[in-house]
Amino acid sequence: MNRKPLPRATELAHELIRQRVESGDTVADLTVGNGHDTLFLSKLVGEDGEVVGFDIQQAAIDATAHRLGNAGNVKLHLACHSRFSEFVSTPVKAVMANLGYLPSADKAIITRGESSVTAIGAAAELLTPGGLITIVVYTGHEGGKEEAETVEEFTSTLDQSKFSVIRYGFTNQANHPPYLIAVEKKLEKR
């Protein structure tokens, strides 16, 4: 029997991505940060797949490149994820994002609601049917709540005939744990 406790937002994001992504897929990491999700995606899509990664901080790009080692299936861009559509034009199976700041770096450099929404909107357009965007939302830092509201407002108005949007999070914890928003493109009716 599975004795795993209720998953954290990051764990559920990984589980949902793992269920959908397979070898050869194209996927994206909107906020590579320290590269944990980028590496996770790189392994899932394998040599024949591709991961497109974004971050506005050179330190994040460097840390991610270091973590990836010689993985040849990742393209890292030192660019705001709001420029998603400049760098990605093919359908994507999955897109991951962590909204907030880069751990261990300058906490004044944070993701912002408008640029996040631009990125998520562009990613949603390119999502393959059955594909998924996972957004782990941190609200404990300054500006975090405003960004969360902007992202929730945007995602909760996505056309329900085309997308399913879920929100998952703990409700009885005092320390602002991150929560998950996931956007799934529905399969076409047959």
2 lines the binding site for a second copy (CB under 8 A): yes
**CA-to-CA distance for 190 and 180, rounded, in angstroms?**
30
Q: Which stretch binds a second copy (CB under 8 A): 63-71, 72-80, 142-150, 177-185?
A: 177-185
Q: Which stretch binds a second copy (CB under 8 A): 34-42, 78-86, 104-112, 151-159?
A: 151-159
Strand order in the sheet with 26-29: 74-78, 50-55, 26-29, 92-99, 127-137, 179-185
Q: Which is nearer to a second copy, 78 or 166 (CB)?
A: 166
Q: Which is nearer to a second copy, 32 or 132 (CB)?
A: 132
Which is nearest to 95 in space by CA: 104, 105, 87? 87
Q: Number of residues in contact with a second copy, rule: CB under 8 A?
A: 36
Residue 111 structure tokens: 């993701």
168 lines the binding site for a second copy (CB under 8 A): yes
48 lines the binding site for a second copy (CB under 8 A): no
Residue 100: which region, alpha, beta or left (left: phi > 0; alpha: psi -120 to 50)?
left
- Using CB under 8 A as the binding rule, the residues of this chain from 3 to 42 that contact a second copy are 3-6, 16, 19-20, 22
Residues of this chain that interact with a second copy (CB under 8 A) are 1-6, 16, 19-20, 22, 130, 132, 152, 155-160, 163-174, 181-182, 184, 186-187
